[in-house]
Amino acid sequence: MQAEPTLQNAVEEMDFAAMLEASFAKEPERGDIITGTILAVDYHGLIVDVNLKRDGIVPRRDLERVGIDPSSYQVGSEVDVIVVRMEDQDDNMILSVSQAQQSEDWKRAEQMMLSEEVWEGIVADANKGGLIVPFGNLRGFVPASHVVDLPRNIAEDDRKGYMTTLLGKKVAVKVIEVNRKRRRLVFSQRDAQRGRREARKELLLDELKEGEVRKGVVSGLRDFGAFVDLGGADGLIHISELAWHRVKHPKEVLNVGDEVDVYILRLDNEGKRIGLSLKRLQKNPWAQAEEMYHVGQLIEGVVSRVAQFGAFVSLEPGIEALLHASQLSDPPPVDPTLIVHEGQKLMLRVISIEPDRQRLGLSLKDVTTEERERWQGRSEAAVVDETTAEADETAAVAQDEGSVDAEAAVQ
């Protein structure tokens, strides 16, 4: 007859199951984060029960690394630790609170990198290579190439000097690299600013209307135009929209830092572009062209540029007229630069006017020899008069200085 199971047998079976489960439980390895219970707190650090055959030790220096006083812990409370060594020379398991806290910071940094979140920190240190920005218990690094407003091709000493001006200042950054093994946490101030400006540009695109006038500050000059900050986001004035006359480079018209009124020319919500104009706020010189010029009129102009098909000539009040190669000479030259060059002053005849199409045609060959000689004579006389006037003014100044010297000598 089979014996009935007793309460004692059931308990023994449960103990055996627990022991079997414990035997298969994976023992923590170096680098694992585990939760333990504080058994003791003393001057040397913490003794922590981590449910193993032996207790672990958190050295005092590990706590001080993150500015924690051991006395702030209480016996019986739980604490997250990382296994640093399974055993030291005294067979103690060495644990770390600081590294466990850093692990949470690494996780947060990884999440921020994935979400492209912008975060603000305080610059704690700086060198020629970049900026140090604390992130929880970690030290983040902003490379010099990712620091906003750092001039290009700056000397090393000047770069370090610029970096030190940022000490103690709050900077907005994005996480661009997280590498726990190499303990690298890299930030970018440049990417953070770009992200914020793009967000601001989206808001501006909703606010702005084509045809309205806004105030802005010139934030940058490029060969193709000028960027204007409209309040956290930039719009572009293409070089062709800077003035009614031809502009070789935006610096002829604007300087970085100038406050200007701009005309909202185009809004591209899909491409997130804001097109601006300066010349649309200026009087169109072509509106006066028909009043100032007529076909057959002799005029004086300056060659502003030369092309294969002819030359452009600057005329008052700020327009460019075309001197086609066929109007340079008879027969037309193979190369217009054989006859005219940039900056040359010429006497020309108006042969066509189309203000509505902003076109005015000129001719050099239609100016007679007599007309050209008469114009040259007037030009030479004007130069002589100007030279004489300058000479008279110089002599007068010298005479006045001589009189002053003579009076000083008498005194």
- Domain positions in the chain are 28-101, 116-193, 210-281, 286-370
Tallying the residues shown for the chain, one arrives at 411
Asked if the domains 116-193 and 286-370 are classified in one and the same CATH topology, the answer is: yes
Share of the chain above pLDDT 70, in %: 86
- Given a cut of 50, is residue 23 above it in pLDDT? no
Average pLDDT in the chain: 83
pLDDT of residue 232: 76
For the chain, counts of helices (H) and of strands (E): 7, 21
Confidence class of residue 182 from pLDDT cuts 50, 70 and 90?
confident
pLDDT of residue 368: 92
Q: Quickly count: other Cβ atoms within 10 Å of residue 220's Cβ.
A: 13
pLDDT of residue 386: 59
CATH of 286-370, one of 2.60.40.1220, 2.40.50.140, 3.40.640.10, 3.20.20.70: 2.40.50.140
Identify which has the larger pLDDT, 174 or 51: 174
Distance CA 201, CA 322 (A): 40
pLDDT of residue 404: 46
Name the CATH architecture for the domain at 116-193: Beta Barrel (2.40)
pLDDT tens column, 244-259? 888 889 999 999 999 9
- Given a cut of 90, is residue 20 above it in pLDDT? no
pLDDT tens column, 361-383? 999 999 999 998 898 888 776 65
Confidence class of residue 401 from pLDDT cuts 50, 70 and 90?
low
Is the separation of the CB atoms in 238 and 275 below 8 Å? yes
Confidence class of residue 15 from pLDDT cuts 50, 70 and 90?
low
User: Minimal CA–CA distance to 105: which of 169, 30, 33, 38?
Assistant: 33
- According to CATH, the topology of domain 28-101 is OB fold (Dihydrolipoamide Acetyltransferase, E2P) (2.40.50)
CATH of 210-281, one of 1.20.910.10, 2.40.50.140, 1.10.540.10, 2.40.110.10: 2.40.50.140
Distance CA 130, CA 163 (A): 7
pLDDT tens column, 281-336? 988 888 888 888 999 999 999 999 999 999 999 998 888 899 999 999 999 999 99
